[in-house]
Amino acid sequence: MKRILNTCALLGALAFNAAAADIVDTAIGAGGFKTLVAAVQAAGLVDTLKSPGPFTVFAPTDEAFAKLPAGTVEGLLKDPEKLKKILTYHVVAGKVMAADVVKMKSAKTVEGSSARIKAMRGEVMIDNAKVVKTDIACDNGVIHVIDTVIMPGK
């Protein structure tokens, strides 16, 4: 009986883990995006990134945020409008998989301007950020991980 209960518990856990998650929950579950998640919350973008979308998010890691000059993240967290502008520059409307990104020269962001894309020698850059992991599927889009925070107008 104990073995059956353990098997049922294991199957239930596997079923839960197999369930799709939205962009925000996927970022939370992945770890390594604590600063991004805090910034999304501070900018009031959680509901947007939990909506049906679809969205493509070029998601900077915690290490990417750590590269910013001292005090930058703290300052941005106190300026929700500026923070929102930067975060929406990391988002493209629609689900753009890596196979499509490599064919693009630029991507129109939700912020309103376009980010430059360059693919060569097996590497993809969006502005000055290197794409380090691609095609993390979410139920409302896709996440591509980047190693640098990108800024509109740069």
Question: CB of 92 within 8 A of CB of 56?
Answer: yes
In a domain, 63, yes or no: yes
Give the rounded percent of residues in the chain with a pLDDT score beyond 70. 86
The average confidence (pLDDT) of the chain is: 86
Which residue range(s) make up the domain with 109? Answer: 21-146
- Mean pLDDT value across residues 23-52: 92
In a domain, 7, yes or no: no
Question: How far is the C-alpha of 124 from the C-alpha of 82, rounded, in Å?
Answer: 27
Residue owning tokens 């239930």? 12
Count the domains in the chain.
Answer: 1
In a domain, 13, yes or no: no
pLDDT over threshold 80, residue 145 = yes
The DSSP 8-state label assigned to residue 112 in this structure reads: S
138 by Cβ neighbours in 10 Å (0-12 / 13-18 / 19+) ranks as buried
Predicted local distance difference test score (pLDDT) of residue 53: 87
CA distances (Å), 18 to each of 14, 21, 72, 134, 138, in order? 6, 9, 37, 19, 11
In a domain, 55, yes or no: yes
Residue spans of alpha helices (H) in 72-119: 72-77, 80-88, 98-101
Q: Could you tell me where the beta strands, DSSP code E, fall in 16-101?
A: 55-60, 91-93
Residue owning tokens 């060569």? 120
Question: CB of 21 within 8 A of CB of 29?
Answer: yes
In a domain, 85, yes or no: yes
- Mean pLDDT value across residues 36-42: 94
In a domain, 153, yes or no: no
pLDDT 10s digits, 67-91: 999 999 999 989 999 999 999 999 9
In a domain, 154, yes or no: no
In a domain, 14, yes or no: no
pLDDT over threshold 60, residue 44 = yes
Structural tokens at position 151: 């800024």
User: Per-residue confidence at 11, pLDDT binned at 50, 70, 90?
Assistant: very low
Q: What is the CATH number of the domain that holds 35?
A: 2.30.180.10
User: Per-residue confidence at 138, pLDDT binned at 50, 70, 90?
Assistant: very high
Structural tokens at position 42: 């501070």
